[in-house]
Amino acid sequence: MTKGKNPMHNTQKTTSRMRGCFHIALEHLEPRSMMAAQPLTSLPLDPQSLDGTGNNSAHPDWGSTVEDLLRRSSVAYGDSISTPSGADRPNARAISNALAASPDGGITNNRDFSAFVYAWGQFLDHDLSLTDTGSPRESFSIAVPAGDTSFDPASTGTKTISMSRSAFDPATGTAIGNPRQQVNSLTAFIDGSQIYGVDVARAAALREFSGGRLKTSDGNLLPFNTSGFANANDAHRVADSQLFLAGDVRANENPELIAMQTLFLREHNRLAVAAAAGNPSWTDEQLFQHARRMVIAELQDITFNEFLPAILGDRSPASLALAGYKGYQADVNPGIATEFSTAAYRLGHSMLGEDIEFLDNNGNEVHAAMALRDAFFNPTVVGETGIDPILKYLASDRAQEVDTKVVDDVRNFLFGGPGQGGFDLATLNIQRGRDHGIADYNSVRVAYGLPRLTSFAQITGDKSVQDALAAAYGSGPEAMNKLDLWVAGLAEKHLPGSSLGETFTRIVVDQFSRLRDGDRYWYQNVLPADAVREIQKTSLADIIRRNTQLTNMQSNVFYFRTSIGGNVFADRNRDGQRQQKEMGLAGTIVTLVDATGATVATSKSNARGDYIFAGIDLGSFRVVVSPPGGGTAVTSRTVAITRGMEIRNNDIALAPPASVSPPAQIAPPAKRPQPAPPSAPRPAPQLAPRSMPGVRNAAFAAIGTLAVPGAPKR
């Protein structure tokens, strides 16, 4: 999220117009399997370069470092050359105030995203793109509206939010036919550059040069940056030497990102150790490149088989379009589009939560929660807790909705008290799009093959968002052609089964299709079939389990789906077990209570006696049932939600009043009985119930009462 100056990218390439011929001298890998180190018939490619050069034989600079960002739409600079766009658009902070202010408690994602969606999104972003601040700096600060409660409470009308323009290719921005083009300091490829770096010096500083391993510090954490490499340290909470060192300069931005960086450092070393054990003759270089290639393959596979299906919708047309790999296409440029990096892929900013928690294997808090605003460039807490509690939290917390809203911790981040300065991430995103000369929303839609829209109602059916767009941009017909891409893209109605609207979906699918199809080193193109199968069986949850002490995680950590459900039935023989003729009780009041007895939610059983509570947080719960005719409320045993899990057989037995004789004592009828109707079918669960220590997943009878307000006592 935060830009950082990285002069090290010039080690191999100086500018996009001055290409070096420098390549790392790497030993060839022996013909061994990349997963199990078994013999192979061939390995078609040498190890890929750090800076991305040479991936495409005909166009060796495509996707490499210090390449111009691509444009899929026409430029919209004020002078058609270099001055920022949007001079006729509203103030960026005013737009943020109108559309991005998040309500108290936020708006939870309606598709059960876990916090891993935005955490992976940022981790991946630091593999794909970095646009540095220009040198010398060009100020492009944002005027704060007078009376802004956070940044100008004294109504001085003189406050600003500081921002500088992005670095650009010096050979551009000279004429109308040669507009300014910003530069990507990283490789475009999904190639682990956030882990390994993109230049020789940084890459060497990260390696042990023994056994193919990467360096670590105490606690099996990232090494510290004791050699003074470029590292972002915007908050200056700790000295530069107390920051961790990784492949990307932004690695210390927050504890969640540090945890992800550390996880894949450990995975690299795990793979290197395993390969060394099976291949004692391999050199350090061979072991390093083996582990590196496998880590890259894992990054590629998780992105395409877990992350993208989450945000695009698992069975959506967009996901299906990305599902089938047709092989390397040498005519596809994988370069990063500015519409992607400067607008669409900043969708993750709307998913951020307000804090970071630290949880043990069963979801219990082990360290006080930290406000997000206190977590920026604060690596100290990772040294205190390790990465396990952070990864468990990411798998167990819900992301915010993908919309125009941004939590206060990054929208009204203050450097001191109100009026003492700070930043607004939403405002910066809007202003950055104008810095890059990105065209208006409608023009970008047309560039991506979508029709122009003529009303806010076509963007979203949410009347409050329509009104906010009108309040920010105006209500006349010209307003539709002034919309900033980041704002309108997030405001769009989501496609069915997806968390993105059609414009951002087009941009995301275009970018990731090119990243895969234009990468000669894509894992499905270079690895043998058995290695590909092993990679595709490996989930992010698997990698976490292999490299931490965490064992209690859902199989897909990009979702946090929880529910407790079951059936309320008439226990006519009072044995606590449901028999064939014991029918469900419709319309029964069912209450979910937490460990303190506080009511979490209340519902009624349906016509079959079924009930379900979904979207439950971690914790211990009981279900309280109030008999339809009054009487003593009964409860289930305690059910613990310790990870993403769906418990669907928490059945509750209600015995008839004591005056009613049990059915076993009733004499058989004189006439031949008709066959008893079968029990009503139970709804099919979305996921099979999971067995867990301390969680009873079998049906059970009520065993007691709870002090629930309004519930009669025994």
What pLDDT band is residue 658 in, cutting at 50, 70 and 90? low
Looking at the predicted structure, is the pLDDT value of residue 592 above 90?
Answer: yes
> What pLDDT, on the 0 to 100 scale, is given for residue 668?
36
Contact 63, 50 (CB under 8 A): no
248 in the same domain as 129: yes
Is residue 182 domain-resident? Answer: yes
> What pLDDT, on the 0 to 100 scale, is given for residue 11?
36
What pLDDT band is residue 45 in, cutting at 50, 70 and 90? low
Q: What does DSSP assign to residue 224? A: B
167 in the same domain as 132: yes
Which of 547, 575, 597 corresponds to the end of one domain? 547
Question: How far apart (Å, rounded) are the C-alpha atoms in residues 579 and 415?
Answer: 65
| Average pLDDT, integer, range 87-111 | 96
Q: What's the distance, Cα to Cα, between the start and end of the chain in Å?
A: 57
514 in the same domain as 464: yes
602 in the same domain as 525: no
3-state helix, strand, coil split of the chain in percent (to 5) is 30, 15, 55
Residues 280-306 have pLDDT tens digits of 999 999 999 999 999 999 999 999 999
**Residue 321: φ, ψ to 5°:** -65, -30
Residues 327-343 have pLDDT tens digits of 999 999 999 999 999 99
Is residue 710 domain-resident? Answer: yes
CATH number, domain with residue 284: 1.10.640.10
Tell me the CB-side half-sphere exposure of residue 559, using CA atoms within 13 A: 22
Contact 159, 149 (CB under 8 A): no
566 in the same domain as 460: no
Residues 490-541 have pLDDT tens digits of 999 999 999 999 999 999 999 999 999 999 999 999 999 999 999 999 999 9
Is residue 634 domain-resident? Answer: yes
> What pLDDT, on the 0 to 100 scale, is given for residue 659?
55
Contacts for 253 with CB less than 8 Å, ≥ 6 apart: 1, 2, 122, 232, 376, 377
243 in the same domain as 188: yes
> What pLDDT, on the 0 to 100 scale, is given for residue 579?
87
568 in the same domain as 709: yes
492 in the same domain as 369: yes
Domain count, the chain: 2
Question: Is 126 among the residues known to form the active site?
Answer: yes
Question: How far apart (Å, rounded) are the C-alpha atoms in residues 375 and 188?
Answer: 28
Question: How far apart (Å, rounded) are the C-alpha atoms in residues 68 and 65?
Answer: 9
| Average pLDDT, integer, range 48-75 | 97
No. of H helices and E strands in the chain?
22, 17
- For β-strands 634-635 and 160-161, DSSP reports them as unpaired
**Would you say the C-alpha torsion 651, 657, 663, 664 has a positive or negative sign?**
positive
Contacts for 157 with CB less than 8 Å, ≥ 6 apart: 146
Is residue 552 domain-resident? Answer: no
Give the domain extent around 703: 561-714
Q: Which of 503, 511, 466, 499 is nearest to 486 (CA)?
A: 503
Is residue 329 domain-resident? Answer: yes
Residue 388: its H or E element: helix 388-396
Q: Which of 206, 188, 189 is nearest to 197 (CA)?
A: 206
| Average pLDDT, integer, range 219-223 | 98
565 in the same domain as 537: no
AA identity, residue 141: S
State the angle between helix axes of 116-128 and 284-302 in degrees (0 to 180), rounded to the nearest 10. 130
Residues 420-472 have pLDDT tens digits of 888 999 999 999 999 999 999 999 999 999 999 999 999 999 999 999 999 99
Which of 522, 547, 572 corresponds to the end of one domain? 547
At residue 61's C-alpha, the angle toward residues 59 and 63, to 5°, is 105
**Would you say the C-alpha torsion 310, 316, 318, 322 has a positive or negative sign?**
positive
Contact 292, 504 (CB under 8 A): no
Task: Pinpoint the alpha helices (H) of 227-376.
Answer: 255-278, 284-302, 308-312, 317-323, 338-341, 372-375
231 in the same domain as 357: yes
Question: How far apart (Å, rounded) are the C-alpha atoms in residues 297 and 303?
Answer: 10
Task: From residue 572, give the alpha-carbon distance in Å to each of 272, 585, 590.
Answer: 63, 12, 20
- For β-strands 562-570 and 589-594, DSSP reports them as unpaired
Question: Cβ atoms within 10 A of the Cβ of 90, count?
Answer: 17
CATH number, domain with residue 700: 2.60.40.10
What pLDDT band is residue 580 in, cutting at 50, 70 and 90? confident
Is residue 554 domain-resident? Answer: no
Is residue 466 domain-resident? Answer: yes
Q: How many residues does the chain have?
A: 714
Contact 167, 4 (CB under 8 A): no
| The one catalytic residue among 126, 290, 436, 494 | 126
Question: How far apart (Å, rounded) are the C-alpha atoms in residues 293 and 30?
Answer: 13
Is residue 553 domain-resident? Answer: no
Q: Which of 241, 125, 194 is nearest to 515 (CA)?
A: 125
Residues 466-492 have pLDDT tens digits of 999 999 999 988 999 999 999 999 999
Please name the residue that has the structure tokens 């049932």.
625
618 in the same domain as 643: yes
Contact 532, 616 (CB under 8 A): no
> What pLDDT, on the 0 to 100 scale, is given for residue 603?
95
Which of 504, 523, 547 corresponds to the end of one domain? 547
498 in the same domain as 575: no
pTM of the model: 0.86
The average confidence (pLDDT) of the chain is: 87
